[in-house]
């Protein structure tokens, strides 16, 4: 495998250039350049400054996110193009390869779990990226949040309503694929309109309201062929309301409600999957209309209530209650061609899931001994109920009338409920002016019930699974510290543990027929240990970060490919090592260059194997390099771009854990922002050279199911804002 190293990172605003200083306060963080002693990482749960954290962390604000929001990107693509250590963007939103440093992170939206134990990262599709005002990343296993955080925490925050002047914004966004002569036709142009308002209504009341509508019209490959995508031909509507009321100068309550619906368009045709000349899949219109007895849908809504008291007994009390519901059902899949080999499998089916979650967080933080000691303690509770949806249609009815009749139903992944309780305490102590030690302790308890009896519809070993109840509890901890090497460099290191249980919906399917869940080792908890050493600082006009880490788990949930080319889930020892480097260089007052490089490698020791084999690319992505120049042509006009390089990866294919090798690819994007007065005009060209490639994350465990990447597209934005 060839390895390319360079320093790169997320888009940055050249207008945010800072004067250089020898003070540590002026050290640049990851882009845009920021004062580390002003950047607060709220996801640390103790409101720690970035400079004080004894682990890798990243904060991206509205300015850093804006160029990606304006290119029509999904949330998954934004994360892959801005976060070092996160897997490269994929084509299909349901891809399972969205890992952070080779582990599954916990995704939160304003504190509300997004995917939870389901691990269905396609839930990220359900949020309009334009509503995100801040993204925070806590790297590595952590005792901060418990379940699902064995790979770190990625938290998305909707935009803050508490700005001084009330602002109204109206806008439109149009994305057109110009890969070939089909450019600008009805299946290549996606229009979007949106409106928002935020700011103070009174001295105590602030609101943020947002609504958007997008008419998805498909995505095209470099050769102009339509890509197959489950949510690319849908009408997407998002409503968000956020209200903050300051009860007193130190007390506030915030209410938040989000409703997102992706509705499949009522078209005169349906798409069928065919295989292109390069072995990937493309979409093609059917010659007859098709109808559904059980209509495809994709809906998500959540509500939360937050109470904050910043001066309670000289400390701070924070409380949150939340509820979320996700309900999706995909368009039909036709796998009748594999029924000869697997006669028990359905041929015409729709996959989906309904999940409800209810939970809360409570924490109290305070400083002691003249603010040398910081202590935060609290508890988290989460109750989740997840049910598989798998309508199965009759082949004869479909051939005769084009109707997916949903005459029967099956089970794709096991239905289950989970009750999770976590209690934690985190401390940080300033030993000297240069040395800070920090640590935390957490106890988690999981009570779960896999609802049975059930029979997985796609099991390699047919038979009824009885399901059953189970539980797991344990204590995890972390310890670390920071040391100020000089006025402009901070060294940090940590040891951390993560404790969780595997995704029950998947692993319960692999329990042998007739075996109770409580008697199977497949559902035993995952304990992840991590060691990390890093440095953050500045050299002249260059701000930088560098981190090296290793993680291991003796009984990790992993996947391999069997002799038929399908995924097999198992529990085995897993080791992952990695290096990350990022930098921002203020070349001149107007020219800013930044980016990151990520290298991850890992191996697994499968049961019955002698020695270890490389982890699948679904878990460990190839080397990823980002390079992002930004140049301020004039005060109102900015030119920017991005280079994304993804290296090849053949080790996993050679070891039999990937069905195909990964080939390297390089993508270039370029854009302009012009802000005359109250208007803002943006123009971007993505995949500038119309590169034909297959994203690394599209190496799936379903034979023949591979999607090429999107071809060249032009994205135009127009906004008008007034106060």
Lowest mean pLDDT among 233-237, 405-409, 596-600: 233-237
Q: Please tell me whether residue 71 adopts helix, strand or coil conformation.
A: coil
Write out pLDDT tens, residues 311-351: 999 999 999 999 999 888 887 888 888 888 888 889 999 88
CB 434 within 8 A of CB 402: no
3-state SS of 480-505 is EEEEEEECCEEEEEEEEEEEECCCHH
Is the pLDDT at 7 greater than 60, yes or no? no
Is the pLDDT at 498 greater than 70, yes or no? yes
Pairwise CA distance, residues 196 & 212, whole Å = 9
* Average pLDDT of the residues of the chain: 83
Comparing 665 with 22, which gets the higher pLDDT? 665
Write out pLDDT tens, residues 55-105: 999 999 888 888 888 887 788 889 999 999 999 988 765 445 688 999 888
Lowest mean pLDDT among 314-323, 391-400, 518-527: 518-527
Lowest mean pLDDT among 373-387, 429-443, 545-559: 545-559
Pairwise CA distance, residues 114 & 104, whole Å = 13
Is the pLDDT at 24 greater than 50, yes or no? no
Comparing 448 with 13, which gets the higher pLDDT? 448
Which pLDDT does position 100 carry in this prediction? 92
Comparing 154 with 507, which gets the higher pLDDT? 154
Pairwise CA distance, residues 71 & 88, whole Å = 17
Distances from the Cα of 375 to the Cαs of 135, 367, 370, 425, 426, in angstroms?
A: 24, 6, 13, 7, 6
CB 33 within 8 A of CB 59: no
Q: Which residue has the tokens 């490389």?
A: 614
Pairwise CA distance, residues 183 & 221, whole Å = 11
Pairwise CA distance, residues 316 & 309, whole Å = 6
Which pLDDT does position 512 carry in this prediction? 86
Give the mean pLDDT of 636-648.
95
Is the pLDDT at 661 greater than 90, yes or no? no
Write out pLDDT tens, residues 684-721: 999 999 998 988 887 765 555 677 888 899 999 999 99
Which pLDDT does position 297 carry in this prediction? 83
Q: How confident is the model at residue 230 (pLDDT cuts 50, 70, 90)?
A: very low
Pairwise CA distance, residues 153 & 150, whole Å = 9
DSSP characters for 226-293? Answer: BPP-TTSSEEEEEEEEEEEEESSSSEEEEEEEEEEEEEE---S--EEEEE-TTS-EEEEE-SS--EES
Pairwise CA distance, residues 266 & 359, whole Å = 36
Q: How many CB atoms lie within 10 A of CB 65?
A: 22
Give the mean pLDDT of 225-248.
82
Pairwise CA distance, residues 420 & 436, whole Å = 32
Lowest mean pLDDT among 124-138, 228-242, 489-503, 671-685: 228-242
Q: How many CB atoms lie within 10 A of CB 189?
A: 18
Which pLDDT does position 151 carry in this prediction? 82
Q: Taking the model in full, what pTM does it have?
A: 0.89
Nearest alpha-carbon partner for 687 in 652, 642, 622: 642
Pairwise CA distance, residues 701 & 649, whole Å = 16
Pairwise CA distance, residues 101 & 595, whole Å = 17
CB 672 within 8 A of CB 638: yes
Lowest mean pLDDT among 194-203, 463-472, 696-705: 696-705
Q: How many CB atoms lie within 10 A of CB 62?
A: 14
Distances from the Cα of 490 to the Cαs of 7, 45, 431, in angstroms?
A: 19, 21, 15
Across 390-467, where does the E strand assignment appear? Answer: 391-392, 403-404, 408-409, 416-430, 435-450
């Amino acid at each position: 495998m060839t390895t390319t190293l360079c320093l790169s990172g997320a888009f940055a605003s050249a207008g945010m250039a800072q004067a250089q200083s020898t003070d540590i306060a002026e050290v640049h963080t990851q882009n845009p350049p920021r004062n580390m002693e002003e950047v607060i990482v709220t996801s640390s749960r103790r409101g720690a400054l970035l400079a004080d954290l004894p682990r890798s962390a990243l904060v991206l604000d509205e300015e850093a996110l804006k160029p990606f929001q304006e290119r029509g990107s999904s949330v998954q693509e934004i994360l892959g193009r801005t976060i070092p250590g996160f897997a490269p963007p994929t084509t299909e939103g349901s891809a399972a390869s969205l890992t952070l440093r080779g582990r599954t992170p916990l995704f939160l939206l304003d504190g509300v779990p997004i995917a939870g134990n389901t691990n269905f990262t396609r839930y990220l599709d359900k949020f309009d990226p334009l509503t995100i005002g801040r993204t925070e990343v806590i790297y590595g296993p952590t005792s901060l949040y418990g379940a699902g955080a064995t790979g770190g925490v990625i938290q998305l925050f909707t935009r803050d309503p508490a700005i001084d002047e009330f602002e109204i914004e109206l806008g439109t966004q149009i994305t057109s694929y110009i890969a070939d002569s089909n450019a600008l036709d009805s299946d290549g142009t996606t229009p979007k309109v949106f409106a928002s308002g935020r700011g103070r209504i009174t001295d105590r009341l602030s609101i943020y309201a947002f609504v958007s509508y997008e008419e998805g019209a498909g995505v095209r490959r470099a050769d102009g062929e339509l890509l197959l995508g489950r949510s690319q031909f849908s009408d997407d509507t998002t409503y968000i309301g956020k209200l903050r009321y300051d009860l007193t100068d130190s007390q506030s309550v915030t209410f938040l409600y989000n409703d997102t619906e992706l509705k499949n368009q009522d078209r005169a045709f349906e798409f069928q999957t065919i295989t292109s000349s390069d072995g990937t899949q493309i979409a093609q219109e059917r010659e007859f209309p098709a109808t559904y007895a059980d209509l495809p849908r994709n809906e998500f809504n959540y509500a939360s209530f937050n109470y904050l008291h910043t001066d309670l007994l000289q400390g701070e009390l924070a409380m949150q209650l939340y509820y979320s519901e996700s309900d999706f059902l995909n368009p039909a899949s036709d796998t009748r061609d594999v029924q000869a080999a697997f006669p028990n499998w359905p041929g015409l089916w729709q996959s989906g899931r309904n999940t409800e979650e209810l939970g809360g967080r409570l924490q109290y933080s305070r400083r002691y001994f003249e603010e040398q000691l910081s202590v935060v303690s609290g508890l988290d509770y989460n109750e989740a109920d997840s049910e598989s949806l798998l309508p199965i249609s009759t082949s004869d009815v479909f051939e005769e009338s084009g109707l997916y009749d949903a005459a029967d139903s099956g089970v794709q992944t096991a239905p289950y409920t989970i009750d999770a309780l976590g209690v934690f305490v985190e401390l940080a102590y300033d030993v000297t002016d240069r040395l800070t030690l920090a640590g935390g302790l957490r106890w988690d308890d999981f009570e779960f019930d896999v609802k049975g009896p059930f029979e997985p519809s796609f099991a390699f070993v047919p038979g009824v699974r009885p399901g059953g109840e189970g539980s797991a509890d344990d204590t995890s901890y972390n310890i670390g510290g920071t040391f100020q090497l000089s006025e402009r460099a901070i060294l940090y290191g940590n040891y951390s543990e993560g404790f969780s249980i595997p995704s029950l919906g998947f692993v319960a399917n692999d329990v042998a027929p007739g075996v109770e869940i409580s008697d199977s080792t497949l559902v035993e908890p995952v304990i992840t240990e991590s060691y990390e050493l890093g440095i953050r600082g500045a050299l002249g006009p260059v701000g930088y970060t560098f981190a090296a880490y290793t993680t291991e788990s003796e009984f990790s949930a992993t996947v391999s490919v069997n002799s038929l080319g399908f995924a097999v889930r198992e529990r085995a020892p897993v080791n992952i090592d990695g290096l990350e480097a990022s930098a921002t260089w203020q070349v001149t007052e107007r020219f800013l260059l930044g980016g990151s490089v990520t290298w991850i490698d890992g191996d697994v020791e499968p049961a019955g194997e002698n020695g270890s084999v490389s982890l699948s690319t679904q878990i460990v992505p190839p080397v990823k390099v980002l390079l992002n120049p930004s140049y301020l042509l004039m005060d109102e006009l900015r030119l920017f771009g991005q280079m994304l390089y993804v290296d090849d990866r053949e080790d996993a294919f050679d070891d039999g854990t990937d069905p195909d090798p990964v080939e390297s690819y390089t993508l270039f994007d370029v854009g302009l922002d012009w802000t005359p007065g109250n208007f803002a005009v943006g123009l971007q060209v993505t995949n500038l050279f119309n590169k034909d490639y297959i994203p690394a994350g599209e190496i799936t465990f379903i034979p023949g199911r591979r999607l090429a990447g999107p071809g060249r597209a032009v994205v135009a934005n127009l906004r008008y804002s007034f106060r």
